[in-house]
Amino acid sequence: MFLYLDPGSGSFLLQLLIAGLAGIGIAIGASWAKVKRLFSKKKGEPKSDEETDDDE
């Protein structure tokens, strides 16, 4: 990787921290979704983010 910008040590670290927390969040979310699926018949539509451009 070739860094022409200084990404900032703090900025890098924060991303790793957020990623770690989000990872835990996703894990919890995923198991929560599993629990929910047990109790609901309707399956949620998978959200396609292909066209989620900013022009809402």
Partner 1 sequence: MTTNSAHGASFRDPSGFLFTRDGVLYRQVNQVYAADYDRLMTSGLYAKLVEAGRLIPHEEVDLAPAAPGAYKILRPERVPFISYPYEWSFGQLRDAALATLSIQKRALKFGMSLKDASAYNIQFYKGKAALIDTLSFETYKPGEPWVAYRQFCQHFLAPLALMATRDVRLGQLLRIYIDGIPLDLVSRLLPGRTRWNLGLSAHIHLHARAQKKYAEAPLAEARRGRTMSQEALLGLVESLQSTVRKLEWNPAGTEWGEYYDHTNYTDAAFEHKKELVAEWVGRVKPRLVWDLGANTGVFARQASGPGTYAVAWDIDPAAVEQNWRRVRQEKEQNILPLVLDLTNPSPAIGWDNRERESFGQRGPADLILALALIHHLAISNNLPFERIAESLAGWGEWLVIEFVPKNDSQIQKLLRSRADIFPNYTREGFEAAFGRFFKIVESRPVRESERWLYLLQKSV
Tell me which H or E stretch contains 30: helix 9-39
Residues at the interface with partner 1 (CB under 8 A): 1-19, 22-23, 26, 49, 52-55
Cα 35 from Cα 15, distance rounded (Å)? 29
- Is the Cβ of residue 19 or residue 38 nearer to partner 1 in the bound state? 19
The distance of closest approach from Cβ of residue 45 to partner 1 in the complex, given in angstroms and rounded to an integer, is 18
- Is the Cβ of residue 16 or residue 38 nearer to partner 1 in the bound state? 16
Overall residue count recorded for the chain in this entry: 56
Residue 54 gets which letter from DSSP?
A: S
- Is the Cβ of residue 2 or residue 39 nearer to partner 1 in the bound state? 2
